[in-house]
Chain A
Amino acid sequence: MRVWLAHHLDATRRALRKLAAAPINTLLFLLAIGVALALPAVGQMLLANASHLTDSTPSAPQISVFMTHGAETRAVAEVEGRLRKHAGVKQLRFLPKDETLTRLKKNPDLRDVINALPGNPFPDAFIVTPGDGSHAAMEGLAIEFRQWPKVEHVQLDSDWVRRLDALLKLGRTAVMLLAALLGCGLVAISFSIIRMQILTHRAEIEVSQLLGATEGYIRRPFLYYGVLLGSGGGFVAWLLVGAVALWLQGPLSELAHLYDLTFELQTLNLRDSALLLGLSATLGWCGAMVSLRQQLGKFR
Protein backbone atom coordinates (compact mmCIF):
# COMPACT_ATOMS: atom_id res chain seq x y z
CA MET A 1 0.00 0.00 0.00
CA ARG A 2 2.83 2.39 0.93
CA VAL A 3 4.74 1.50 -2.25
CA TRP A 4 1.56 2.00 -4.31
CA LEU A 5 0.95 5.37 -2.69
CA ALA A 6 4.60 6.37 -3.12
CA HIS A 7 4.39 5.49 -6.83
CA HIS A 8 1.26 7.59 -7.31
CA LEU A 9 2.68 10.53 -5.38
CA ASP A 10 5.88 10.27 -7.37
CA ALA A 11 3.88 10.13 -10.64
CA THR A 12 1.89 13.23 -9.62
CA ARG A 13 5.11 15.04 -8.74
CA ARG A 14 6.66 14.11 -12.07
CA ALA A 15 3.53 15.19 -13.96
CA LEU A 16 3.51 18.55 -12.15
CA ARG A 17 7.23 18.92 -12.88
CA LYS A 18 6.54 18.34 -16.57
CA LEU A 19 3.80 20.99 -16.52
CA ALA A 20 6.00 23.46 -14.67
CA ALA A 21 8.97 22.82 -16.95
CA ALA A 22 7.34 24.83 -19.79
CA PRO A 23 4.95 27.30 -18.12
CA ILE A 24 4.13 29.31 -21.25
CA ASN A 25 3.30 26.15 -23.21
CA THR A 26 1.23 24.84 -20.32
CA LEU A 27 -0.72 28.11 -20.10
CA LEU A 28 -1.40 28.10 -23.83
CA PHE A 29 -2.52 24.45 -23.73
CA LEU A 30 -4.84 25.21 -20.80
CA LEU A 31 -6.25 28.22 -22.61
CA ALA A 32 -6.86 26.23 -25.81
CA ILE A 33 -8.64 23.48 -23.87
CA GLY A 34 -10.48 26.03 -21.73
CA VAL A 35 -11.84 27.96 -24.72
CA ALA A 36 -12.89 24.74 -26.47
CA LEU A 37 -14.77 23.61 -23.36
CA ALA A 38 -16.18 27.05 -22.57
CA LEU A 39 -18.25 27.14 -25.78
CA PRO A 40 -20.61 24.26 -24.90
CA ALA A 41 -20.44 25.23 -21.21
CA VAL A 42 -21.68 28.76 -21.96
CA GLY A 43 -24.39 27.24 -24.18
CA GLN A 44 -25.41 24.96 -21.31
CA MET A 45 -25.51 27.90 -18.90
CA LEU A 46 -27.71 29.99 -21.20
CA LEU A 47 -30.04 27.05 -21.81
CA ALA A 48 -30.30 26.34 -18.09
CA ASN A 49 -31.26 29.99 -17.54
CA ALA A 50 -33.81 29.91 -20.37
CA SER A 51 -35.28 26.68 -18.97
CA HIS A 52 -35.47 28.30 -15.55
CA LEU A 53 -37.33 31.23 -17.13
CA THR A 54 -39.89 29.02 -18.84
CA ASP A 55 -40.28 26.87 -15.73
CA SER A 56 -41.41 29.93 -13.80
CA THR A 57 -44.12 30.70 -16.38
CA PRO A 58 -47.38 28.74 -16.53
CA SER A 59 -46.44 26.25 -19.17
CA ALA A 60 -49.50 24.00 -18.80
CA PRO A 61 -51.51 24.38 -22.00
CA GLN A 62 -54.67 26.45 -21.51
CA ILE A 63 -57.65 27.64 -23.58
CA SER A 64 -59.23 31.05 -23.04
CA VAL A 65 -62.95 31.21 -23.82
CA PHE A 66 -64.29 34.77 -24.22
CA MET A 67 -68.02 35.44 -24.05
CA THR A 68 -69.72 37.99 -26.29
CA HIS A 69 -69.70 41.49 -24.87
CA GLY A 70 -72.81 41.98 -22.78
CA ALA A 71 -73.69 38.25 -22.59
CA GLU A 72 -76.41 37.71 -19.99
CA THR A 73 -75.64 36.02 -16.69
CA ARG A 74 -77.84 33.07 -17.71
CA ALA A 75 -75.85 32.48 -20.91
CA VAL A 76 -72.55 32.71 -19.01
CA ALA A 77 -73.85 30.25 -16.40
CA GLU A 78 -74.91 27.86 -19.17
CA VAL A 79 -71.46 27.91 -20.76
CA GLU A 80 -69.89 27.44 -17.33
CA GLY A 81 -72.18 24.46 -16.70
CA ARG A 82 -71.23 22.90 -20.04
CA LEU A 83 -67.55 23.40 -19.38
CA ARG A 84 -67.77 21.89 -15.90
CA LYS A 85 -69.49 18.78 -17.24
CA HIS A 86 -67.18 18.43 -20.24
CA ALA A 87 -65.00 15.33 -20.04
CA GLY A 88 -62.08 17.06 -21.76
CA VAL A 89 -61.84 19.84 -19.17
CA LYS A 90 -59.51 19.24 -16.27
CA GLN A 91 -59.66 22.63 -14.54
CA LEU A 92 -61.80 25.69 -14.99
CA ARG A 93 -61.38 29.25 -13.81
CA PHE A 94 -63.99 31.98 -14.37
CA LEU A 95 -62.74 35.54 -14.95
CA PRO A 96 -65.69 37.97 -14.49
CA LYS A 97 -65.43 41.11 -16.61
CA ASP A 98 -65.51 43.36 -13.48
CA GLU A 99 -62.54 41.53 -11.98
CA THR A 100 -60.59 41.95 -15.22
CA LEU A 101 -61.38 45.68 -15.24
CA THR A 102 -60.29 46.10 -11.59
CA ARG A 103 -57.06 44.19 -12.20
CA LEU A 104 -56.13 46.26 -15.24
CA LYS A 105 -56.93 49.51 -13.46
CA LYS A 106 -54.21 48.62 -10.99
CA ASN A 107 -51.65 48.74 -13.80
CA PRO A 108 -50.27 52.32 -13.74
CA ASP A 109 -49.54 52.27 -17.49
CA LEU A 110 -53.09 51.29 -18.40
CA ARG A 111 -55.02 53.08 -15.65
CA ASP A 112 -55.57 56.36 -17.57
CA VAL A 113 -56.69 54.59 -20.75
CA ILE A 114 -59.13 52.36 -18.86
CA ASN A 115 -60.58 55.32 -16.90
CA ALA A 116 -61.14 57.22 -20.14
CA LEU A 117 -63.40 54.45 -21.49
CA PRO A 118 -67.16 54.97 -21.14
CA GLY A 119 -67.89 51.52 -19.68
CA ASN A 120 -66.33 48.08 -19.13
CA PRO A 121 -64.98 46.94 -22.50
CA PHE A 122 -64.02 43.43 -21.29
CA PRO A 123 -66.11 40.31 -21.69
CA ASP A 124 -66.56 37.52 -19.15
CA ALA A 125 -64.02 34.78 -19.78
CA PHE A 126 -63.12 31.22 -18.79
CA ILE A 127 -59.62 29.81 -18.49
CA VAL A 128 -59.80 26.11 -19.34
CA THR A 129 -57.04 23.61 -18.55
CA PRO A 130 -57.71 20.58 -20.77
CA GLY A 131 -57.12 17.00 -19.66
CA ASP A 132 -55.20 16.25 -22.86
CA GLY A 133 -52.65 18.97 -23.57
CA SER A 134 -51.82 17.80 -27.08
CA HIS A 135 -52.22 20.34 -29.82
CA ALA A 136 -54.77 18.21 -31.72
CA ALA A 137 -56.96 17.68 -28.62
CA MET A 138 -56.84 21.39 -27.80
CA GLU A 139 -57.74 22.33 -31.36
CA GLY A 140 -60.71 19.95 -31.16
CA LEU A 141 -61.94 21.56 -27.94
CA ALA A 142 -61.48 25.05 -29.37
CA ILE A 143 -63.57 24.19 -32.44
CA GLU A 144 -66.30 22.76 -30.18
CA PHE A 145 -66.33 25.75 -27.80
CA ARG A 146 -66.51 28.22 -30.69
CA GLN A 147 -69.85 26.71 -31.73
CA TRP A 148 -71.49 27.31 -28.36
CA PRO A 149 -73.94 30.20 -28.09
CA LYS A 150 -72.66 33.55 -26.85
CA VAL A 151 -69.03 32.44 -27.21
CA GLU A 152 -67.22 35.20 -29.08
CA HIS A 153 -63.64 33.98 -29.26
CA VAL A 154 -61.59 30.95 -28.25
CA GLN A 155 -57.84 31.29 -27.94
CA LEU A 156 -55.23 28.58 -27.43
CA ASP A 157 -52.75 29.86 -24.87
CA SER A 158 -49.22 28.68 -24.09
CA ASP A 159 -48.33 28.13 -27.73
CA TRP A 160 -45.32 30.39 -27.28
CA VAL A 161 -44.13 28.31 -24.35
CA ARG A 162 -44.36 25.21 -26.49
CA ARG A 163 -42.42 26.93 -29.24
CA LEU A 164 -39.80 28.04 -26.71
CA ASP A 165 -39.63 24.50 -25.33
CA ALA A 166 -39.05 23.19 -28.84
CA LEU A 167 -36.35 25.80 -29.36
CA LEU A 168 -34.73 24.86 -26.06
CA LYS A 169 -34.81 21.20 -27.05
CA LEU A 170 -33.08 22.14 -30.30
CA GLY A 171 -30.59 24.26 -28.35
CA ARG A 172 -29.84 21.36 -26.00
CA THR A 173 -29.22 19.04 -28.95
CA ALA A 174 -26.95 21.65 -30.53
CA VAL A 175 -25.03 22.07 -27.26
CA MET A 176 -24.67 18.28 -26.94
CA LEU A 177 -23.35 18.03 -30.49
CA LEU A 178 -20.97 20.92 -29.91
CA ALA A 179 -19.81 19.36 -26.65
CA ALA A 180 -19.24 16.00 -28.37
CA LEU A 181 -17.28 17.62 -31.20
CA LEU A 182 -15.16 19.77 -28.92
CA GLY A 183 -14.73 16.80 -26.56
CA CYS A 184 -13.19 14.88 -29.47
CA GLY A 185 -11.06 17.97 -30.08
CA LEU A 186 -9.88 17.89 -26.47
CA VAL A 187 -8.94 14.20 -26.80
CA ALA A 188 -6.99 15.11 -29.95
CA ILE A 189 -5.22 18.02 -28.21
CA SER A 190 -4.36 15.84 -25.22
CA PHE A 191 -3.19 13.06 -27.58
CA SER A 192 -0.74 15.36 -29.39
CA ILE A 193 0.56 17.02 -26.23
CA ILE A 194 1.21 13.65 -24.58
CA ARG A 195 2.78 12.32 -27.78
CA MET A 196 5.14 15.30 -27.75
CA GLN A 197 5.90 14.68 -24.06
CA ILE A 198 6.63 11.00 -24.69
CA LEU A 199 9.01 11.84 -27.53
CA THR A 200 10.72 14.49 -25.38
CA HIS A 201 11.17 11.96 -22.56
CA ARG A 202 12.12 9.08 -24.81
CA ALA A 203 15.57 8.61 -23.22
CA GLU A 204 14.10 8.61 -19.71
CA ILE A 205 11.47 6.04 -20.71
CA GLU A 206 14.02 3.73 -22.32
CA VAL A 207 16.41 3.96 -19.36
CA SER A 208 13.56 3.41 -16.91
CA GLN A 209 12.49 0.29 -18.80
CA LEU A 210 16.04 -1.05 -18.63
CA LEU A 211 16.21 -0.32 -14.90
CA GLY A 212 13.05 -2.31 -14.16
CA ALA A 213 10.20 0.16 -14.55
CA THR A 214 6.79 -1.41 -15.08
CA GLU A 215 4.40 -0.22 -17.78
CA GLY A 216 2.34 1.40 -15.03
CA TYR A 217 5.32 3.33 -13.68
CA ILE A 218 6.05 4.72 -17.14
CA ARG A 219 2.43 5.45 -18.05
CA ARG A 220 1.32 7.02 -14.78
CA PRO A 221 2.98 10.47 -15.00
CA PHE A 222 1.73 10.90 -18.58
CA LEU A 223 -1.80 9.88 -17.58
CA TYR A 224 -1.68 12.30 -14.67
CA TYR A 225 -0.32 14.93 -17.03
CA GLY A 226 -3.34 14.36 -19.29
CA VAL A 227 -5.74 14.50 -16.34
CA LEU A 228 -4.12 17.67 -14.99
CA LEU A 229 -4.23 19.32 -18.41
CA GLY A 230 -7.86 18.28 -18.89
CA SER A 231 -9.04 19.37 -15.47
CA GLY A 232 -6.93 22.56 -15.66
CA GLY A 233 -8.56 23.33 -19.01
CA GLY A 234 -11.95 22.56 -17.42
CA PHE A 235 -11.18 25.03 -14.64
CA VAL A 236 -10.22 27.69 -17.21
CA ALA A 237 -13.53 26.98 -19.00
CA TRP A 238 -15.38 27.34 -15.68
CA LEU A 239 -13.71 30.72 -15.10
CA LEU A 240 -14.58 31.81 -18.65
CA VAL A 241 -18.23 30.83 -18.14
CA GLY A 242 -18.26 32.88 -14.92
CA ALA A 243 -16.74 35.83 -16.76
CA VAL A 244 -19.30 35.56 -19.58
CA ALA A 245 -22.14 35.41 -17.01
CA LEU A 246 -20.77 38.50 -15.28
CA TRP A 247 -20.44 40.30 -18.61
CA LEU A 248 -23.97 39.41 -19.77
CA GLN A 249 -25.63 40.12 -16.43
CA GLY A 250 -25.77 43.91 -16.94
CA PRO A 251 -27.35 43.98 -20.43
CA LEU A 252 -29.77 41.14 -19.55
CA SER A 253 -30.92 42.87 -16.36
CA GLU A 254 -31.52 46.02 -18.38
CA LEU A 255 -33.55 44.06 -20.93
CA ALA A 256 -35.55 42.29 -18.20
CA HIS A 257 -36.26 45.64 -16.53
CA LEU A 258 -37.89 46.87 -19.75
CA TYR A 259 -40.38 43.99 -19.38
CA ASP A 260 -40.95 44.70 -15.67
CA LEU A 261 -39.04 41.55 -14.78
CA THR A 262 -36.15 40.93 -12.47
CA PHE A 263 -33.70 38.46 -13.97
CA GLU A 264 -30.41 37.26 -12.56
CA LEU A 265 -28.25 35.18 -14.84
CA GLN A 266 -27.15 32.04 -12.99
CA THR A 267 -23.69 30.69 -13.73
CA LEU A 268 -23.05 26.90 -13.81
CA ASN A 269 -24.49 25.18 -10.76
CA LEU A 270 -22.53 22.74 -8.61
CA ARG A 271 -23.65 19.70 -10.62
CA ASP A 272 -22.76 21.26 -13.98
CA SER A 273 -19.44 22.57 -12.62
CA ALA A 274 -18.52 19.11 -11.30
CA LEU A 275 -19.60 17.61 -14.62
CA LEU A 276 -17.44 20.07 -16.55
CA LEU A 277 -14.35 19.36 -14.43
CA GLY A 278 -14.93 15.60 -14.34
CA LEU A 279 -15.56 15.38 -18.07
CA SER A 280 -12.54 17.49 -18.97
CA ALA A 281 -10.29 15.41 -16.72
CA THR A 282 -11.68 12.19 -18.25
CA LEU A 283 -11.17 13.46 -21.80
CA GLY A 284 -7.58 14.49 -20.94
CA TRP A 285 -7.00 11.00 -19.55
CA CYS A 286 -8.51 9.40 -22.69
CA GLY A 287 -6.20 11.41 -24.98
CA ALA A 288 -3.20 10.44 -22.87
CA MET A 289 -4.23 6.77 -22.84
CA VAL A 290 -4.60 6.59 -26.63
CA SER A 291 -1.27 8.37 -27.10
CA LEU A 292 0.51 6.05 -24.65
CA ARG A 293 -0.91 2.96 -26.33
CA GLN A 294 0.33 4.14 -29.68
CA GLN A 295 3.73 5.52 -28.64
CA LEU A 296 4.94 3.13 -25.95
CA GLY A 297 4.43 0.15 -28.24
CA LYS A 298 7.24 1.57 -30.37
CA PHE A 299 9.68 1.46 -27.43
CA ARG A 300 9.27 -2.25 -26.72
Chain B
Amino acid sequence: MIRFDRVGKRYPPGADALSDLSFEVAEGQMVVVSGHSGAGKSTLLKLIAAVEKPSSGTVLVGGLNLGGLARSALPYLRRRIGIVFQDQKLLFDRNVFDNVMLPLSIAGFPPRDAAQRVRAALDKVGLASREKALPIMLSGGEQQRLAIARAVVNRPSLLLADEPTAHLDRETAMDVARIFTEFHHVGVTVLIATYANELFPATRHLRLDHGKLLP
Protein backbone atom coordinates (compact mmCIF):
# COMPACT_ATOMS: atom_id res chain seq x y z
CA MET B 1 0.00 0.00 0.00
CA ILE B 2 2.71 2.46 1.05
CA ARG B 3 6.43 2.17 0.39
CA PHE B 4 9.15 4.63 1.41
CA ASP B 5 12.54 3.98 -0.13
CA ARG B 6 15.43 6.07 1.32
CA VAL B 7 13.15 9.12 1.49
CA GLY B 8 14.51 12.48 2.59
CA LYS B 9 12.73 15.79 2.96
CA ARG B 10 14.64 19.00 3.37
CA TYR B 11 13.01 22.37 3.90
CA PRO B 12 14.83 25.56 3.03
CA PRO B 13 17.28 26.78 4.25
CA GLY B 14 18.52 23.24 4.74
CA ALA B 15 16.85 21.64 7.74
CA ASP B 16 16.24 17.91 7.28
CA ALA B 17 12.68 17.02 8.34
CA LEU B 18 13.15 13.42 7.27
CA SER B 19 16.26 11.57 6.22
CA ASP B 20 16.89 8.18 4.66
CA LEU B 21 13.50 6.79 5.63
CA SER B 22 12.59 3.31 4.35
CA PHE B 23 9.54 1.27 5.38
CA GLU B 24 6.47 -0.45 3.96
CA VAL B 25 2.87 -0.53 5.10
CA ALA B 26 0.70 -3.37 3.89
CA GLU B 27 -2.99 -3.05 3.10
CA GLY B 28 -5.30 -3.20 6.12
CA GLN B 29 -2.63 -2.35 8.68
CA MET B 30 -3.18 0.20 11.43
CA VAL B 31 0.08 2.05 11.90
CA VAL B 32 0.84 4.53 14.62
CA VAL B 33 3.63 6.98 13.86
CA SER B 34 4.97 8.39 17.09
CA GLY B 35 7.74 10.71 18.11
CA HIS B 36 8.39 13.97 19.85
CA SER B 37 7.26 17.27 18.43
CA GLY B 38 9.32 18.06 15.31
CA ALA B 39 10.29 14.40 14.77
CA GLY B 40 8.84 14.49 11.26
CA LYS B 41 5.44 12.80 11.79
CA SER B 42 3.40 15.45 9.96
CA THR B 43 5.93 15.64 7.14
CA LEU B 44 5.66 11.87 6.67
CA LEU B 45 1.88 12.10 6.34
CA LYS B 46 2.18 15.08 3.96
CA LEU B 47 4.47 13.05 1.72
CA ILE B 48 1.94 10.19 1.60
CA ALA B 49 -0.89 12.61 0.75
CA ALA B 50 1.35 14.28 -1.87
CA VAL B 51 0.96 17.62 -0.12
CA GLU B 52 4.78 17.73 -0.14
CA LYS B 53 7.25 16.17 -2.53
CA PRO B 54 10.27 14.22 -1.28
CA SER B 55 13.68 15.88 -1.67
CA SER B 56 15.22 12.46 -2.25
CA GLY B 57 14.16 8.82 -2.47
CA THR B 58 10.89 7.30 -3.65
CA VAL B 59 7.40 7.37 -2.16
CA LEU B 60 4.98 4.82 -3.58
CA VAL B 61 1.29 4.88 -2.65
CA GLY B 62 -0.98 2.27 -4.18
CA GLY B 63 1.77 1.54 -6.70
CA LEU B 64 2.08 5.21 -7.80
CA ASN B 65 5.42 6.96 -7.56
CA LEU B 66 4.41 10.29 -6.04
CA GLY B 67 7.69 12.00 -6.97
CA GLY B 68 6.92 11.62 -10.67
CA LEU B 69 3.18 12.18 -10.45
CA ALA B 70 1.82 14.86 -12.79
CA ARG B 71 0.04 17.77 -11.10
CA SER B 72 -3.13 16.90 -12.98
CA ALA B 73 -3.12 13.39 -11.44
CA LEU B 74 -2.81 14.62 -7.85
CA PRO B 75 -6.53 15.29 -7.24
CA TYR B 76 -7.44 11.73 -8.21
CA LEU B 77 -4.86 10.30 -5.79
CA ARG B 78 -6.13 12.51 -2.97
CA ARG B 79 -9.70 11.33 -3.52
CA ARG B 80 -8.51 7.81 -2.63
CA ILE B 81 -7.02 9.02 0.63
CA GLY B 82 -8.95 10.27 3.64
CA ILE B 83 -7.06 12.88 5.62
CA VAL B 84 -7.74 14.21 9.11
CA PHE B 85 -5.60 17.32 9.41
CA GLN B 86 -3.94 18.44 12.61
CA ASP B 87 -5.80 21.76 12.39
CA GLN B 88 -8.91 19.96 11.02
CA LYS B 89 -9.37 22.48 8.18
CA LEU B 90 -13.13 22.67 8.61
CA LEU B 91 -15.07 25.32 6.69
CA PHE B 92 -16.64 27.45 9.37
CA ASP B 93 -19.11 29.15 7.04
CA ARG B 94 -20.70 25.80 6.13
CA ASN B 95 -22.75 23.56 8.35
CA VAL B 96 -21.77 20.05 9.40
CA PHE B 97 -23.64 18.43 6.51
CA ASP B 98 -22.02 20.67 3.87
CA ASN B 99 -18.55 20.15 5.31
CA VAL B 100 -18.91 16.39 4.93
CA MET B 101 -20.55 16.83 1.53
CA LEU B 102 -17.51 18.67 0.12
CA PRO B 103 -15.37 15.63 -0.88
CA LEU B 104 -18.40 14.06 -2.57
CA SER B 105 -19.20 17.25 -4.49
CA ILE B 106 -15.58 17.36 -5.61
CA ALA B 107 -15.77 13.75 -6.76
CA GLY B 108 -19.00 14.51 -8.65
CA PHE B 109 -21.37 12.23 -6.72
CA PRO B 110 -25.07 12.61 -7.60
CA PRO B 111 -26.65 14.74 -4.84
CA ARG B 112 -29.07 12.07 -3.60
CA ASP B 113 -26.41 9.33 -3.24
CA ALA B 114 -24.05 11.88 -1.72
CA ALA B 115 -26.61 12.95 0.88
CA GLN B 116 -27.11 9.30 1.91
CA ARG B 117 -23.37 8.83 2.27
CA VAL B 118 -23.01 12.02 4.28
CA ARG B 119 -25.72 10.92 6.72
CA ALA B 120 -24.15 7.48 7.02
CA ALA B 121 -20.74 9.04 7.79
CA LEU B 122 -22.25 11.44 10.33
CA ASP B 123 -24.11 8.55 11.93
CA LYS B 124 -20.87 6.57 12.14
CA VAL B 125 -19.13 9.34 14.10
CA GLY B 126 -22.19 10.17 16.22
CA LEU B 127 -23.04 13.52 14.66
CA ALA B 128 -26.27 12.56 12.89
CA SER B 129 -28.30 14.96 15.01
CA ARG B 130 -25.95 17.91 14.42
CA GLU B 131 -25.97 18.10 10.62
CA LYS B 132 -27.42 21.62 10.55
CA ALA B 133 -24.99 23.01 13.12
CA LEU B 134 -22.08 25.20 12.17
CA PRO B 135 -18.65 23.86 13.21
CA ILE B 136 -18.21 26.77 15.63
CA MET B 137 -21.16 25.41 17.60
CA LEU B 138 -19.46 22.03 18.10
CA SER B 139 -17.20 20.98 20.95
CA GLY B 140 -13.53 20.11 20.25
CA GLY B 141 -14.33 16.38 20.20
CA GLU B 142 -17.29 16.92 17.88
CA GLN B 143 -15.16 19.01 15.53
CA GLN B 144 -12.62 16.20 15.44
CA ARG B 145 -15.34 13.67 14.68
CA LEU B 146 -16.64 15.97 11.95
CA ALA B 147 -13.15 16.03 10.42
CA ILE B 148 -13.10 12.21 10.55
CA ALA B 149 -16.53 12.01 8.91
CA ARG B 150 -15.31 14.24 6.08
CA ALA B 151 -12.19 12.08 5.69
CA VAL B 152 -14.09 8.80 5.44
CA VAL B 153 -17.21 9.84 3.51
CA ASN B 154 -15.47 8.97 0.23
CA ARG B 155 -14.81 5.47 1.63
CA PRO B 156 -11.07 5.73 1.08
CA SER B 157 -8.80 2.72 1.22
CA LEU B 158 -6.22 4.75 3.14
CA LEU B 159 -6.95 6.99 6.12
CA LEU B 160 -4.33 9.41 7.42
CA ALA B 161 -4.70 11.35 10.67
CA ASP B 162 -2.35 13.92 12.10
CA GLU B 163 -2.63 14.23 15.89
CA PRO B 164 -6.35 13.41 15.90
CA THR B 165 -6.55 13.38 19.70
CA ALA B 166 -4.55 16.51 20.39
CA HIS B 167 -6.31 18.98 22.71
CA LEU B 168 -9.01 16.42 23.61
CA ASP B 169 -9.74 15.11 27.08
CA ARG B 170 -8.98 11.46 27.74
CA GLU B 171 -12.56 10.23 27.35
CA THR B 172 -13.14 12.09 24.06
CA ALA B 173 -9.74 10.99 22.79
CA MET B 174 -10.69 7.39 23.45
CA ASP B 175 -13.95 7.88 21.54
CA VAL B 176 -12.00 9.24 18.56
CA ALA B 177 -9.49 6.37 18.79
CA ARG B 178 -12.40 3.89 18.79
CA ILE B 179 -13.72 5.38 15.53
CA PHE B 180 -10.34 4.86 13.83
CA THR B 181 -10.17 1.32 15.15
CA GLU B 182 -13.59 0.58 13.66
CA PHE B 183 -12.42 1.75 10.25
CA HIS B 184 -9.35 -0.43 10.57
CA HIS B 185 -11.60 -3.38 11.37
CA VAL B 186 -13.46 -2.98 8.09
CA GLY B 187 -10.22 -3.17 6.10
CA VAL B 188 -9.16 0.45 5.81
CA THR B 189 -5.40 1.07 6.05
CA VAL B 190 -4.95 3.62 8.84
CA LEU B 191 -1.87 5.75 9.56
CA ILE B 192 -2.03 7.92 12.64
CA ALA B 193 0.64 10.37 13.68
CA THR B 194 0.25 10.86 17.41
CA TYR B 195 2.04 11.36 20.66
CA ALA B 196 -0.73 9.37 22.41
CA ASN B 197 0.13 5.99 20.87
CA GLU B 198 -1.30 4.04 23.81
CA LEU B 199 -4.83 4.98 22.71
CA PHE B 200 -4.63 3.13 19.41
CA PRO B 201 -4.48 -0.66 19.13
CA ALA B 202 -1.98 -0.47 16.28
CA THR B 203 -0.78 -3.47 14.35
CA ARG B 204 2.50 -1.64 13.83
CA HIS B 205 4.50 1.23 15.34
CA LEU B 206 6.86 3.57 13.53
CA ARG B 207 8.97 5.67 15.89
CA LEU B 208 10.59 8.79 14.54
CA ASP B 209 13.37 10.79 16.09
CA HIS B 210 14.74 13.90 14.39
CA GLY B 211 13.50 12.69 11.01
CA LYS B 212 14.99 9.21 11.36
CA LEU B 213 13.19 5.93 11.91
CA LEU B 214 14.12 4.26 15.20
CA PRO B 215 14.60 0.50 15.09
| Chain B stretch 32-81: residues in CB contact (< 8 A) with chain A | 49, 51, 71-72, 75-79
Q: Is B108 an interface residue (CB 8 A)?
A: yes
Q: Is B167 an interface residue (CB 8 A)?
A: no
B99 (CB) vs chain A CBs: closest residue: A207
Binary interface profile of A, 1-42, with partner B (CB < 8 Å = 1, else 0)? 011101100100000000000000000000000000000000
A194 CB → nearest B CB, Å = 18
Supply 10 further A-B pairs (C-beta < 8 A) apart from A207-B89, A212-B78. Answer: A3-B108, A4-B108, A7-B108, A207-B91, A209-B75, A210-B78, A211-B150, A212-B77, A213-B106, A217-B106
Q: Which of A10, A207, A215, A300: most chain B Cβ within 10 A?
A: A207
Interface of B is mostly: helix
Knowing A203-B91, A204-B91, the reply to whether A211 touches B110 (Cβ < 8 A) is: no
B103 (CB) vs chain A CBs: closest residue: A211
Q: Is A208 an interface residue (CB 8 A)?
A: yes
Knowing A203-B91, A204-B91, A207-B91, the reply to whether A212 touches B107 (Cβ < 8 A) is: yes
Which residues of A have CB within 8 Å of B150? 211
Q: Which of B51, B78, B85, B105: most chain A Cβ within 10 A?
A: B105
A150 to B111, CA, bound (A): 92
Which residues of B have CB within 8 Å of A300? 71
| Chain A stretch 186-218: residues in CB contact (< 8 A) with chain B | 203-204, 206-215, 217
Closest 10 pairs between A and B when the two form their complex, measured CB to CB: A212-B79, A3-B108, A212-B78, A212-B75, A213-B106, A214-B75, A211-B103, A207-B89, A6-B108, A212-B106
Q: Is B102 an interface residue (CB 8 A)?
A: yes
- Which of these, A203, A206, A208, contacts B106 with CB under 8 Å? A208
CB pair A210–B105 under 8 Å, yes or no, is no
A217 to B105, CA, bound (A): 9
CB pair A211–B106 under 8 Å, yes or no, is yes
Knowing A10-B105, A211-B103, A212-B78, the reply to whether A206 touches B110 (Cβ < 8 A) is: no
Q: Is B21 an interface residue (CB 8 A)?
A: no
B51 CB → nearest A CB, Å = 7
CB pair A6–B110 under 8 Å, yes or no, is yes
A2 to B114, CA, bound (A): 14
- Which of these, A210, A213, A217, contacts B85 with CB under 8 Å? A210
CB pair B108–A207 under 8 Å, yes or no, is no
A207 to B101, CA, bound (A): 13
CB pair B51–A207 under 8 Å, yes or no, is no
Q: Is B83 an interface residue (CB 8 A)?
A: yes
A203 to B91, CA, bound (A): 7
A120 CB → nearest B CB, Å = 88
Binary interface profile of B, 117-161, with partner A (CB < 8 Å = 1, else 0)? 000000000000000000000000000000000100000000000
Which residues of B have CB within 8 Å of A213? 75, 106
A206 to B111, CA, bound (A): 23
Which residues of B have CB within 8 Å of A206? 89
CB pair B89–A212 under 8 Å, yes or no, is no
A204 CB → nearest B CB, Å = 6
Q: Can you list 20 residue pairs at the A/B interface with Cβ under 8 Å?
A: A2-B110, A3-B108, A6-B109, A6-B110, A7-B108, A10-B105, A203-B89, A203-B91, A206-B89, A207-B89, A210-B49, A210-B51, A211-B83, A211-B102, A211-B106, A212-B75, A212-B103, A212-B106, A212-B107, A217-B75
CB pair A207–B83 under 8 Å, yes or no, is no
Q: Which of A6, A203, A212, A213: most chain B Cβ within 10 A?
A: A212
A87 to B68, CA, bound (A): 82
A213 to B91, CA, bound (A): 15
CB pair B108–A210 under 8 Å, yes or no, is no
A209 to B106, CA, bound (A): 9
B154 CB → nearest A CB, Å = 8
A214 (CB) vs chain B CBs: closest residue: B75
Which residues of B have CB within 8 Å of A204? 91
A213 (CB) vs chain B CBs: closest residue: B106
Knowing A3-B108, A7-B108, A203-B91, the reply to whether A208 touches B85 (Cβ < 8 A) is: no
| Chain B stretch 80-96: residues in CB contact (< 8 A) with chain A | 83, 85, 89, 91
